[in-house]
Structure 1
Amino acid sequence: MTVGTTRTGRAVGRAAVTAAVLALAGAALLFVLKPLSIQLPAGGRDESWIAVLGEAAARSARWGVDITFTYGPASELVTRYFTEGYLLRAVPVLCGLALVHTFALALLARGAVKGLRHGAWLVPLALAADAAALATQLALDIDAFVYALVLALLLLDLARAPKDRAAAATVLSGAALLGAIAVAKTSFGVAALGVFILADVRAVLARRRVPALLPACLAGALACFLGHGQSLVDLPAYLDLQGQQASGYGEAMYLASDGVELGAFLLGAAALVAVSGLGGSPGRGGRVAAALGTAFLSLVGLKAGFVRADTHTQIAWSLLGQGGLIVAVGLVLPRSRLGAAALGTGALAVLWVAGPLFLLAATGRDASLAHLPDVYTGMRGQLAAELDAVGRFARSPSAFAARARSDKAAAWAAAAAARPMPPLSGTVDMLPSEQSAVLANGLDYRPRPSFQEYPTYTAGLIAANAAFYAGPNAPDWVIFGMGELDDRYPAAMEGALWPELLRRYEPRTRVGPWVALRRRADPLADPLSPPVAVETVLGRPAALPFTGPVFARMTVRPTPLGRVAAVLFRPPALTLRVTLANGDRQDYRFVPAMAAGGFLLSPLLTDADGFADLALGHAEDTGGADVTAVAVEGAPWARFFYQPSVSVELRRVTVPAAAPSAASAPLVEDLARALPWRRLVRAIGRAGQLDGDRLTALPPTALTIPVAGARRLRLKFGISDAAWTDGATKGVCFAVAASPGAVPIWRRCLDPAAVVADRGQQSEDVDLPPGLAAVTAETSCREDCAWGWSYWGGIVPEN
């Protein structure tokens, strides 16, 4: 009877473990990797890079030569962007990662409970806890899952017996798969290589095995690189530019973090490192390796989450939670069930409570427990969609693929309808990060290597783009627009390309809010004069020695500490402060490599029209405010990270005025019609707020408009569509008064959310009383100023 009961208990225990293994593998696929939730084309900045990378990989573009980004040729493993090869290439790798994760956790748990009374029942409990952890990742990216898997493989390698074949196979296959996914995203490779080097060094010093994890990881990466149509010949160039992307990220892409959130994460990470060291595997270097590996991955999570501290911080919190659960199972459970339970409960609390509360705060919502369910509201629909996709794929993979093709074609059609473009004959590049529109309209897209403007932030990336435009493969057409991200100086994004664009391209036609430039048969002379050197220091303004258009190169060099900070996290922020001719000062983010590459400093241009006027030789008509002085500012401690000297090189920009080609005549006429409004905007010192022909006027604003001799004002005004389609605007009131606070001469309130007629740009002609020298154009809030995205499209005095 006793034997029968024991056999029955063991059978039930094995069944429970099997069920838990299957459940965890399913959780990894359904909640995290989601291989069948395919990405389709769409408009937008992020959607554009996803589409460009997916289509480039499908067409065997050469990474490091033709294209570069923070993601590599296997980006589909992360983005799940659908191409003809996606199901065959990506789905097996993602399923393999799910299985490796599951077996690594199961084997860690098996080893941890060995010898413990009733220990076998703890294995399914540990796996169930991990499945609960993965359930929190349904709406998040896979970054934390990948980093946590690296940690799990490290702990399994440190704990496994030399003859444990299952553990050895799991660790080696996991290393190879992590090498493969490193070809999808550079930071995955950094995490895997750092930890596997540590594991191999420890194994050699402890005389446990030959170094195998690093070779397995490199082999997996090479196989994936070649399997995605790449060549060994391009590997050095690929590694160089990927390294450029990684090295410049912290300095260029930061968003300041909340001090409380950052401090809380650092405390949690320090505690986890301490637990890893104290509970690490005994023997030669086991505890040290566990602590170092946990610390290194925490540093990777810190940089991934808190350099750009918006919703990216969820990567760090997810890693802390998943890593805490892995440490609880692999290191703490063999020594203390109670300790493992406490750490595991804390890890789940980080994932289910702490992380989501910080997410609520980052997205401007009420970060209280009462609103915690808001984070999980959409999960049911996402899970249902993935389950539906799994069911359709299981029933007929061919039908699944056919529907994906059809959905992709429909998505391209919708993107083209949303952003139509003329049929430009020849090759096309696009400076603004809206490349999906080019692809959707069937144009012959031939991008520069660093194809979006905002991540072109190191000397190597800037040089690669400059070489492309100076070479034989430069495009026939360039769709030009000004980039907008993180308060950077508008002309600094791809600013180094402007002299070449002014020399080699002619503005031809409007394309939505942008201008299409056509390559000239005969380039113009170099528009830049010989340089004038100006030396200054951090915090001290440097006056511009001449007026008119000025191209600048500004060099600020890091100290040794600054270089270390850029690698480990990020150096402190620097600010570019410009003084305008009217005395106003405006601050922008200063990205050292972009400033050193060069940019148009004066006038302060903010739109494609201003560039077009400059390129046509009408520098006086650009609408931009003249800059008279410039300074690089920083916090007091910035001097420890940057050398105090600032080298400034200034050049006049001269583009000769010439008769435009017949094809450019309509654009020239359009620019001329808008000139009075642009000159007025420049005169009142508001050129920095121009967005195309729209002058941003978020309420409350009051603009002084000179009207001497005018009998009427011709007004154009409105509220941006996104304020009522994506937001919840309560409306804005527009008015013209003889002076601030006076009874309005004219007033109109718009409420586009409720009144259809108030949508889009409005027009009014307002008669003025005689004898006025100036009037005030005002915007004010109707109820509250949230989503009050108002603008003036024109305020033109007429006689």
Structure 2
Amino acid sequence: PAGRLLAVAALFIALRSSTWRVLFFSDPFFFLLPLTFVLVALHPRRIGIYGLAPALLALSALAGLIKFTYFLFGFACVILADLHRLRRRALPWYTFCYLLSILVFFALAGQKLAHFAAYLHASLAVTAGYSEAMQLFGSPFELLAFVAMSFSLLLLVQAAERKSEDWRQDPWLGAVPILIFLAFSFMVFKASFVRHDVHSAIGWSSLAAATALYGSRLSALGGSRVQRAALVGLGVVALGLAVARHCRIDHEPIGRFLDSNFASGLLERADAVGGVALGRHRSEQMKRYEMAMAMIRAQSPMPALSGTVDAMPWDAAGVVANKLQYHPRPIFESFNVYNGSLIEVNRSFLRSDNAPSSIVFDVATIDNRFPAQDDGALWPDLIARYDVQQSAGSRVLLVRRASPRAVRLTAIGPPTAAGWATPVPVPRAASAVWVSIDIKKTTLGRVVDFVFKLPVIELGITLEDRTVLQNRLVPDVARSGFLLSPIIFSGQAFARLLRKDPAILGPTRRVSSVQVLGPAGVSWLYDQSVQFDFRELSFDGPGEQ
């Protein structure tokens, strides 16, 4: 009992360590749901399988609709659990029930089952493009430490499972838990270190929690004292690193962390839960909600608008706080539209009758990307279908036209091939130059992208006034095309472009040459030749037909 109590406490501490300021990274909790399901379903004594396992299966399915990564891991878990049942000549019902639960929750969320295939397609596109578009690099020492700790856990799992009854009967049976922990380690590794910043808290928290969780299975398997001691030691180190990482990124002393989770903070949460259940705090919560909405309205004022409204590149909070009819595009944050499939999903929406009546528009981005990239492939559609009505600060209000204006992308000569870090002249004849940049991955690059992440690619730009700019380039977005010249770094500049204001074409905005930059050895991961396709963007201005 004491050991179980300590394991539960370790699990709680591990999950609570995945916080950052006011944010709580829920990934460790949701990754643990299918992992716990498998440990229960494969329990040597079959304890609680008919009650707890189905509940965990349903919760894992619900988690799969919260974030697609959880769906993939959950699906891998139920497949492997069913393979285990098949080897035991039992009915493989987990996968069927998992997928059925997914569909039931999808329908309960108000979605049409006919749209489930489109949801899967878009979710796969989001997952496939994440590593190349959102990667950040952090401390290599932290990365190596996590890999070493994960590998140590896998070695312990492998050593324990090789002595299990399942392994003695059939090595394929015994290999199932090993494969599941391998899949868990891989998914957590990608979730934590592709974007190596505060996301690494997910990895340490998940690793510590999984180590504590495996203690119950090791005990059921009758693990040796050496194995138990090794697991406890690994768990203590993982838990210590998880808490230390939390305290470092959150600038929170260890004493305050313990107090907020096990002393006064725990009592406050219990009181809050009780208050919500009894309805005591409803008026106070509504008052705090209204104060928060008023604060957002003050920071992000918007005019009263009729009809549906979207916000680009983001600021859904501003639209909702101003009590407008929020009607976003399917991928509603522009920095997440990072490959051709996702661009086409949003483009189809803008071209449909379901497009918003108004768009609160600005140009902004993350990670020092070239600003005109994010949803930049949709700018011709915005120009065709919307007019500028008014502006506030850097933002402008786009209002849908009764009929689209003509927009043309006319080729300016044949595509140009150039090597890395080789300046390519930008055609001067066109006032607005559109470019598509094709950067193809090698076979090795595709493998590295799947296993971990690729290096950051940058766009080097020289303006006509000789100013040099260097911004991050997302290869899949660059392939779909974006406005290169004149450079547009704000909603106001986009409005001047749409009005054909000559001031937008000055030497401080026109690009004279462009090049693609990468770190040493980049040609191992991408083709040595980069293709540039320049086109002239032209359209009917105000008063033109």
Give TM-score scaled by structure 1 length: 0.62
Instruction: Return the match for 1:347 from 205, 223, 235.
Output: 235
2:124 aligns to what? 243
* Residue pair 1:193, 1:214 contacting (<8 A) in 2 also: yes
Instruction: Return the match for 2:416 from 516, 520, 534.
Output: 534
Q: CA deviation at 1:401?
A: 5.4
* Residue pair 1:158, 1:286 contacting (<8 A) in 2 also: no
- The answer as to 2:176 corresponding to 1:294 is no
CA distance, structure 1, for counterparts of residue 242 and residue 47 of structure 2: 37
Q: 1:499 to 1:123 in 2, by over 3 A?
A: closer
> 1:383 is matched by which residue type in structure 2?
L
* Residue pair 1:203, 1:210 contacting (<8 A) in 2 also: yes
CA RMSD of aligned residues (A): 2.6
- The answer as to 2:498 corresponding to 1:611 is no
1:777 aligns to what? none
Deviation track 1:270-316 (CA, whole Å, cap 9, x = no partner) reads: 11111111101332234422221111111100111011111110111
Specify the SS of the correspondent of 2:534.
strand
Q: CA deviation at 1:403?
A: 5.4
CA distance, structure 1, for counterparts of residue 302 and residue 13 of structure 2: 47
- The answer as to 2:313 corresponding to 1:432 is yes
1:358 aligns to what? 245
- The answer as to 2:384 corresponding to 1:503 is yes
* Residue pair 1:617, 1:654 contacting (<8 A) in 2 also: no
1:671 aligns to what? none
CA distance, structure 2, for counterparts of residue 655 and residue 138 of structure 1: 49
Instruction: Return the match for 1:647 from 521, 531, 540.
Output: 531
- The answer as to 2:72 corresponding to 1:194 is no
| Structure with the higher helix share, 1 or 2 | 2
> 1:315 is matched by which residue type in structure 2?
I
* Residue pair 1:554, 1:598 contacting (<8 A) in 2 also: yes
Deviation track 1:138-161 (CA, whole Å, cap 9, x = no partner) reads: 663221122233223323333334
CA distance, structure 1, for counterparts of residue 341 and residue 388 of structure 2: 28
* Residue pair 1:503, 1:526 contacting (<8 A) in 2 also: yes
> 2:62 is matched by which residue type in structure 1?
A
Q: CA deviation at 1:573?
A: 2.1
1:412 aligns to what? 293
- The answer as to 2:26 corresponding to 1:154 is no
Q: 1:543 to 1:293 in 2, by over 3 A?
A: same
Q: 1:438-587 counterparts in 2 under 5 A?
A: 438-532=319-413, 533-547=415-429, 548-587=431-470
Specify the SS of the correspondent of 2:514.
strand
* Residue pair 1:180, 1:223 contacting (<8 A) in 2 also: no
Q: 1:156 to 1:428 in 2, by over 3 A?
A: closer
* Residue pair 1:574, 1:591 contacting (<8 A) in 2 also: yes
Q: CA deviation at 1:216?
A: 2.5
* Residue pair 1:488, 1:589 contacting (<8 A) in 2 also: yes
* Residue pair 1:487, 1:588 contacting (<8 A) in 2 also: yes
Deviation track 1:394-448 (CA, whole Å, cap 9, x = no partner) reads: 4x24x55565555444433332233221112332221121111111112222211
- The answer as to 2:203 corresponding to 1:316 is yes
- The answer as to 2:100 corresponding to 1:223 is no
Deviation track 1:198-224 (CA, whole Å, cap 9, x = no partner) reads: 1211331243x2212222222221221
Q: List gaps (5 residues or longer) in structure 1.
A: 1-16, 18-120, 661-799
* Residue pair 1:172, 1:212 contacting (<8 A) in 2 also: no
Q: 1:130 to 1:210 in 2, by over 3 A?
A: same
Specify the SS of the correspondent of 1:651.
strand
* Residue pair 2:37, 2:53 contacting (<8 A) in 1 also: yes
- The answer as to 2:129 corresponding to 1:266 is no
CA distance, structure 1, for counterparts of residue 526 and residue 258 of structure 2: 44
1:620 aligns to what? 503
Give TM-score scaled by structure 2 length: 0.89
Q: CA deviation at 1:374?
A: 6.0
* Residue pair 2:463, 2:512 contacting (<8 A) in 1 also: yes
Q: CA deviation at 1:131?
A: 4.2
Specify the SS of the correspondent of 2:454.
coil
1:594 aligns to what? 477
CA distance, structure 2, for counterparts of residue 418 and residue 473 of structure 1: 29
CA distance, structure 1, for counterparts of residue 284 and residue 97 of structure 2: 37
- The answer as to 2:216 corresponding to 1:329 is yes
> 1:511 is matched by which residue type in structure 2?
A
> 1:616 is matched by which residue type in structure 2?
R
User: Does 1 or 2 have the higher relative contact order (CA < 8 Å, sep 6+)?
Assistant: 2
- The answer as to 2:304 corresponding to 1:423 is yes
Q: CA deviation at 1:228?
A: 1.1
Which deviates the most, 603-612 or 133-142? Answer: 133-142
1:67 aligns to what? none
- Percent sequence identity is 29
